[in-house]
Amino acid sequence: MTNSVNNINYFSSLKYPDFQKIWLAGLFAGSSHWALIVIRGWVVYEISESSMLVGLVTFSAMIPMILVTPLIGYLADKFQRRKILQSMFLINFIHNLGLGMLYFLDLIEPWHLIVLAFIQGSARAARMPSGQSLVPNIVPKTYLLNAVALDMSTVHATRLLGPLAVAPLLAFVGRNGESITGIDLAFFMCTGFYALSLFFSLMIKNTSTGQINSESFMQGFTEGLRYVHNTKPIFIVTGITTLHCMLTMSFESVLPFFSVNKLGSEGLVVSFLMMCVGVGALIASIFLAGTRDEKIKGRFFYIFAIISGIAPIFLGLSSNLIISLIAALFMGLGQAGFMIISHTIIQTLSPNHIRGRIAGVYAMYLGGSMALFNFLNGLYADFFDPGYSIAIQGMAFVLIVISTRKNFILRSIYSGKLQTN
């Protein structure tokens, strides 16, 4: 299937063997990650009935995006980028196995979940800087948007696959009389997914690195930070994307609250909400994988941003399951579309010798904002209806995006006049 305007196959990048391996590894790792978010959030809420604790666990999983990604970006420019990815998948495999055993043996405590969430988040934090710096070394520049769209489809669309895989298992939540519960099986399924991701990552052959003149990490990190802040297009795109993550993508910690208190259900509805986000993400990913037109890309960067802000308003204010599921679908559509284009712009504008460090700084800002607001939303939900907070955040982002049309660089991107190819 091809795009008649651009004559590009939707799966063009998969003809490159190393990209096939990255794509498959990401498919299984992403499925495990999003399944784990559903399982872990429900387990925390089940043993504590506290949205604040769910937010704290989510915060622990996301805070490594601040603490770890700068280091990973430095390492991705200093050592082989494939080895960073392989190490990440190995750590996540061990983490999932340990978490599953703790729950199976009925030894799980909230502090276990907090510590292990930090370990899992640290390993996952390696995915963005190492993956973003490696992909442009594997596929030609003309196929970069296609590669990023396919790669990001394994990050966003697995929001559908992961929760879908565990949904039948979560139907058995609460049947404590059984020797093996649905959650036990779900944890071990996630472990199996990470085993497959590790297998495919070990088959990657590309040995690319960056170029670092400084010996110390702090010098290398400072070089990356200075480059991001001194290069206006990269700095501005990083800024608007950070606001996007902060205001529209920090809702995981309150999904159990929504499921129980607003929609009158339990773990299964959390899976359904995440699945709908995944469906929307898949639609956006498929659409963007088939386009190379700068004007289309720019216009949809703006449209996806507006959708990302409007959809949380409907989710936050809704107490109807159907409306909530539709809102979740549009959230996935807007978020994935916006993030794919943002990642493509950053990767294309980043020189190879410093790409890892730029990706590390970029991921630090994005992950840090999501970690903070997931925690704050979870804390807020213990005292007030978090729906109002999410709706206000969505509206704030819509107003911010509209106001950015006055910025020359973003206006050029929205109109397709800022050339990134």
One-letter amino acid for residue 172 of the chain: F
pTM, entire model: 0.72
Per-residue tokens: 267:
């773990």
The larger pLDDT score, comparing residue 327 to residue 274, is at 327
Q: Calculate what percentage of the chain has a pLDDT beyond 70.
A: 87
Task: Give the three-class secondary structure for 252.
Answer: helix
The larger pLDDT score, comparing residue 176 to residue 331, is at 331
pLDDT for 3 beyond 50: no
What is each CA distance from 396 to 24, 307, 316, in whole angstroms? 37, 13, 14
pLDDT for 330 beyond 50: yes
Task: Give the three-class secondary structure for 9.
Answer: strand
DSSP string, 132-188: HHHGGGTS-GGGHHHHHHHHHHHHHTHHHHHHHHHHHHHTTTT-TTSSS-HHHHHHH
| Phi then psi dihedrals of residue 292, to 5 deg | -125, 5
Q: How far apart are CA 146 and CA 60, in angstroms?
A: 32
Confidence band (pLDDT; 50, 70, 90) for 30?
confident
Q: What average pLDDT does the segment 72-85 reach? A: 80
Contact 261, 324 (CB under 8 A): no
Note the pLDDT tens digit of each residue in 89-99. Answer: 899 899 889 98
Contact 64, 73 (CB under 8 A): no
pLDDT for 292 beyond 70: no
The larger pLDDT score, comparing residue 352 to residue 25, is at 25
Q: How far apart are CA 150 and CA 282, in angstroms?
A: 10
Most confidently modeled of 54-63, 184-193, 229-238, 315-324? 229-238
Domains and CATH numbers, the chain: 14-204+217-414 (1.20.1250.20)
Note the pLDDT tens digit of each residue in 93-124. Answer: 998 899 888 888 888 888 888 898 898 888 88
Note the pLDDT tens digit of each residue in 208-218. Answer: 776 666 567 77
Write down the pLDDT at residue 156.
66
Per-residue tokens: 72:
């990973």
Most confidently modeled of 195-209, 230-244, 293-307? 230-244
Write down the pLDDT at residue 409.
86
Confidence band (pLDDT; 50, 70, 90) for 236?
very high
Confidence band (pLDDT; 50, 70, 90) for 421?
very low
One-letter amino acid for residue 297 of the chain: K
DSSP state of 79: S
Confidence band (pLDDT; 50, 70, 90) for 372?
confident
N-term to C-term CA, the chain: 23
Confidence band (pLDDT; 50, 70, 90) for 1?
very low
Contact 378, 253 (CB under 8 A): yes
Write down the pLDDT at residue 2.
41
Q: What average pLDDT does the segment 271-292 reach? A: 80
Write down the pLDDT at residue 53.
80
One-letter amino acid for residue 7 of the chain: N
Residue with the two structure tokens 């196959």? 9
Q: What average pLDDT does the segment 8-28 reach? A: 84
Q: What average pLDDT does the segment 299-328 reach? A: 91
Q: Calculate what percentage of the chain has a pLDDT beyond 90.
A: 18
Write down the pLDDT at residue 175.
46
What number of H helices and E strands is found in the chain? 19, 0
Of 62, 7, 1, nearest to 33 (Cα)? 62
DSSP state of 335: H
Average pLDDT, the chain: 81
Residues 6+ apart with CB under 8 A from 348: 136, 141, 144, 420, 421
pLDDT for 239 beyond 80: yes
Note the pLDDT tens digit of each residue in 148-205. Answer: 778 777 776 677 778 778 777 766 654 445 556 778 888 888 899 999 999 999 999 8
Write down the pLDDT at residue 212.
64
The larger pLDDT score, comparing residue 347 to residue 17, is at 17
What is each CA distance from 391 to 62, 221, 277, 316, in whole angstroms? 22, 36, 17, 5
pLDDT for 304 beyond 90: yes
Residue 94, CB-side half-sphere exposure with 13 Å CA sphere: 8
HEC secondary structure over 258-296: HHHHHCCCCHHHHHHHHHHHHHHHHHHHHHHHCCCCHHH
